[in-house]
Amino acid sequence: QSALTQPPSVSGSPGQSVTISCTGSSSDVGGFNRVSWYHQPPGTAPRLLIYGVRNRPSGVPDRFSGSKSGNTASLTISGLQTEDEADYYCSSFTSSNSVLFGGGTKLTVL
Amino acid sequence: QVQLQESGPGLVKPSETLSLTCAVSGFSISSDYWWGWIRHPPGKGLEWIATIYHNGRTFYNPSLKSRVTISIDTSRSQFSLGLSSVTAADTAVYYCGRQLGNDLWSYDYWGQGTLVTVSS
């Protein structure tokens, strides 16, 4: 299984919006509404931001939103804040009854 | 408050078996949730390893399945990971996590992670 494809890096200025893409196939992202997004500041464990493509767990600000079109899922962060600087990972359930993660995207807030 | 804590050796020799345990507190491990292991090799992305339900049902990463064993001990509120025939490529921070129910395959609670280095 190859990792889902994410851009290695994205950047934005405080207050702006950025979108991170996550591309897979019909056997994972495109075939199921089970895409998740995680945020991982350096040296910490990942934190769940989005599950089921677009649902936010309690406590996650509504600045974070998820969507999906075909085999590509997206995470949009609006109103960028300096504390959003971290690595972001997508994941998806697969037809092999497993979970596949993306390679990760480093978000830099300029 | 749900808490997970990984424990196990930080150094494992090549060809040996890596063994880790995750202690769950603040929540019943026998509830309707799955419990899983994920790892993060240095400089790489996250990799899902396996998941288990309290009745012992399991799912494994196909690329690791031949070397991985996941088990659960509900009486001790813990679950464990075994990874055999390790090589340097298995060096990683290993996390345990609680998998959301309702067939969502997302992890909402994570342990702090434990670094396992494979080296002679």
Distance from CA of B71 to the nearest CA of A (A): 17
Report the distance separating Cα A38 and Cα B39, nearest Å.
14
Condensed to tens digits (0 to 9), the pLDDT of residues A14-45 reads: 999 999 999 999 999 999 999 999 999 988 99
Mutation site, A4, A36, A50, A99, interface B, largest B CB count within 10 A: A99
SS3 A83: helix
Report the distance separating Cα B68 and Cα B38, nearest Å.
12
Provide the pLDDT for residue B116.
Answer: 98
Residue A2 has pLDDT above 90, yes or no: no
Subunit contact A102:B45, Cβ cutoff 8 A: yes
Q: Which tokens in the block code for residue B42?
A: 């240095």
Please provide the average confidence, as pLDDT, over all residues in chain B: 95
- DSSP string of A19-38, one letter each residue: EEEEE--TTTGGG-S-EEEE
Percent of chain A at pLDDT exceeding 70? 99
Condensed to tens digits (0 to 9), the pLDDT of residues B30-60 reads: 998 999 999 999 999 999 999 999 999 999 9
Condensed to tens digits (0 to 9), the pLDDT of residues B73-95 reads: 999 999 999 999 999 999 999 99
